[in-house]
Structure 1
Amino acid sequence: MLQLSSLSDIRQHTGLLRQQGQRIGFVPTMGALHEGHLSLIRAAKQQNDVTVCSVFVNPAQFNNPEDFRLYPRLLEKDAQLLAQEGCDVLFAPAAEEMYRQKPKLSFDFGDLERVMEGAHRPGHFNGVATVVSKLFHLVQPHQAFFGQKDLQQFAIIQQLVLDLSFDLELVCYPIIREEDGLAMSSRNRRLTPEQRALAPHLYQALQLLQKSLKNHSVEEAKKETEAFLRQIPEIRLEYLEVVHAQTLQPLREVSGKVPVALCLAAFLGEVRLIDNLLL
């Protein structure tokens, strides 16, 4: 596996691959890789000639400096996992390389970013869009693979690709869960054993909400689910939403006529976790 860290090297390498007619699959990550990431690597390998994975903890998308400082960084282990999966190229730049000067460009995704993650993490999606745009320009992929766990992020990137006419296909793969239902996340590493034992209640809450919506209004179903989570004082719910799965706007009723997503964010101690369920 080739490991690159400079912008000029990755641009030159992928440009040469394209000249040779090679099809490039790209998996952008922030590292601390788990089975969810590796499932994307396998998908990229199946559908492309060359697979590129980036590992970059992007400072521009963290509005909490402490969260950025504590985010797991395991590049050596990540490289071993990627090599075992047959990844062809690992692009792992330093922040000083990716941002040689502070970006002046800013993005506004309208209603897509006024809800859920965008409402609670100001500037987050501007940072996401900035780094993803840079990575798409550098890697020049034919396909880019993302996980459903970051559902709102995927919707934002879909809009980015549409608005800026990136010549690539976006692929979203289902959430990979632990045996007890917890959505796999790099942040799970920060949970204490006690917190880890409670974390599956987040997925259980989404399942309860799904079941409750069959017989109750959205408002009543949300209240029942919030009451369920309040029984666990260690869990601090930030939001619980029933939304249109594509526009991400809140729904007052679930009719079966539109695609629906159930989304939540919650804290266990200082660790913030997100999850969702598509109906």
Structure 2
Amino acid sequence: MQVFNNGAEWHNYWIQTLQTHKSIGFVPTMGALHEGHLDLIKASKKTCDITVVSIFVNPIQFNNAEDFEKYPVLTDQDLSLLRQEEVDYVFLPSMETIYPESPVLSFNFGNLENVLEGEFRPGHFSGVGIIVSKLFNIIRPTIAFFGQKDLQQVAIIKRLALDLSFPLEIQVVPTKREKDGLALSSRNMRLTSIEREKALLLIKSLNQAKNELLTGESWLEVRNKVQQLFEEEALTQLEYFELVHPETFEVFSEFDPHKKSSICVASFVGNVRLIDNLSINP
């Protein structure tokens, strides 16, 4: 495994070795790696000639400074794990490498960023757009791999790739879950044992809502029941529970079994904000 710390090093290597001969699979991460990241890496290794993983905690996608400060940084552990997975290359840039100056550019993704995560985390998707654009320009992957857990982010990145004509494919890998259903997230390690148990309310509510919709209950009834469940649990604070189109993020007021739809949820559990989603009609 070879580690690169700046874009110039990678560019020189790419020119000499990769540009005409190898398909490049790319897994961008913010570190604190878990089995969900490993699923992305395995998908890349299965599909592409080489796999590149980046580790960079991107400050401009955090709309909460405290959240950025508390984000777990486990670089040595991450590199050890990537060696075990026999990753080919790691891009591990410094803050100064990525942002030699504070960026003045911003992105507006229209309706995609006006709902759900965009509504509750203003500026988040612009920060995502900037870092992903930088990484795509530096690494020049053939295929980039993202997890379905970040469903709205996936839609944003697909729009970014389309509008800016990045010559790559976006591949989405299903959400990796614990045996009890909790979606894997680097934020989970910040949960206490009690909060970890209460966090299961996210997937329980998603499964309950999906089952009730498919048996004919109205979305309004289903949503009201879920909101009550969260209100009854003192350790949770529900931000949204919405039925959306998984690509356009149009918010539906009722369930149509003939339309693509997913349920998305975001809630604080203690002081940790978690998100999850579940497809109803893929």
Contact 1:149 1:275 in 2 (8 A): yes
The equivalent residue for 2:225 is 224
| Cα shift readout 1:48-101 (whole Å, capped 9, x = no counterpart) | 111000000000100100000000000111011111111000111111110001
Q: Cα deviations across residues 155-179 of structure 1 (Å, max 9, x unaligned)?
A: 0000000000000000000000001
Show the 5 A alignment for 1:112-261: 112-214=112-214, 215-261=216-262
Contact 1:266–1:272 (Cα < 8 Å) also in 2:
yes
Q: Residue 56 of structure 2 contacts residue 93 of structure 2 at CA under 8 Å; is this kept in 1? A: yes
CA contact (8 A) 1:15 1:140 kept: no
TM-score (norm 1): 0.98
Match of 1:87 in 2: 87
**2:277 aligns to what?**
276
Bigger shift: 13-22 or 267-276? 13-22
Question: Shift of the alpha carbon at 1:15?
Answer: 3.3
1:246 shift after superposition: 1.2
How many residues are paired up?
A: 279
Question: Contact 2:109–2:156 (CA<8 Å) still a contact in 1?
Answer: yes
Report the secondary structure of 2:253's partner residue.
coil
Q: Distance in 2 between matches of 1:3 and 1:216?
A: 53
Q: 1:33, 1:121 → 2: CA distance?
A: 23
Once residues 17 and 235 of structure 1 are traced to their aligned partners in structure 2, the CA distance between those partners, rounded to angstroms, is 51
Aligned pair in 2 of structure 1 residues 168, 17: CA closer, same or farther (>3 Å)? Answer: farther
Corresponding residue for residue 61 of structure 2: 61
Residue 71 of structure 1 contacts residue 187 of structure 1 at CA under 8 Å; is this kept in 2?
yes
| Unpaired stretches in structure 2, ≥5 consecutive residues | none
CA distance in structure 1 between the partners assigned to 2:275 and 2:164 by the alignment: 28
Q: Is the 8 A contact 2:155 2:246 kept in 1?
A: no
Amino acid at match of 2:139: V
Identity of aligned residues (%): 48
Task: Write the letter of the residue equivalent to 2:241.
Answer: L
Distance 2:149 2:5 in 1: 27
User: Given that residues 265 and 275 in structure 2 are in contact (C-alpha distance below 8 angstroms), is that contact kept between their aligned partners in structure 1?
Assistant: yes
Q: Deviations over 1:248-267 (max 9, x none)?
A: 11112222221111001000
1:25 maps to 25
Q: Secondary structure at the match of 1:213?
A: helix
User: What is the RMSD of the two structures over their aligned residues, measured on CA atoms?
Assistant: 1.0
Question: Match for 1:70: what amino acid?
Answer: K
Residue range with higher mean Cα deviation, 207-216 or 85-94: 207-216
| Cα distance in structure 2, aligned partners of 1:165 and 1:29 | 22
- What is the identity, as a one-letter code, of the residue corresponding to 2:174? P
Task: Determine whether 1:12 maps to 2:7.
Answer: no
Deviations 1:94-126 (A, max 9, x none): 111100011121110000000000000000000
Kept in 2: contact 1:107–1:126 (CA 8 A)? yes
Question: What is the Cα deviation at residue 11 of structure 1?
Answer: 2.3
Task: Confirm or deny: 8 A CA contact 1:53 1:89 kept in the other structure.
Answer: yes
Shift of residue 211, structure 1, vs aligned partner: 1.6
The one-letter code of the counterpart of 1:236 is Q
> AA paired with 2:160?
L
Post-superposition shift, 1:218?
1.3
> Which structure 1 residue ranges, 5 or more long, are not aligned?
none
CA distance in 2, matches of 1:198, 1:16: 52
TM-score by length of 2: 0.97
Bigger mean CA deviation after superposition, 198-207 or 4-13: 4-13
Shift of 1:269: 1.4
* Aligned counterpart, 2:102: 102
Q: Distance in 1 between matches of 2:35 and 2:158?
A: 24
Retained in 2: the 8 A contact 1:51–1:87?
yes
Deviation at 1:231, TM superposition (A): 2.2
Distance 1:23 1:142 in 2: 6
Secondary structure at the aligned position of 1:27 is classed as: strand
1:211 and 1:232 map into 2 onto residues whose CA distance is 22
Please tell me whether the aligned partners of residues 29 and 56 of structure 1 are also in contact (alpha carbons under 8 angstroms).
Answer: yes
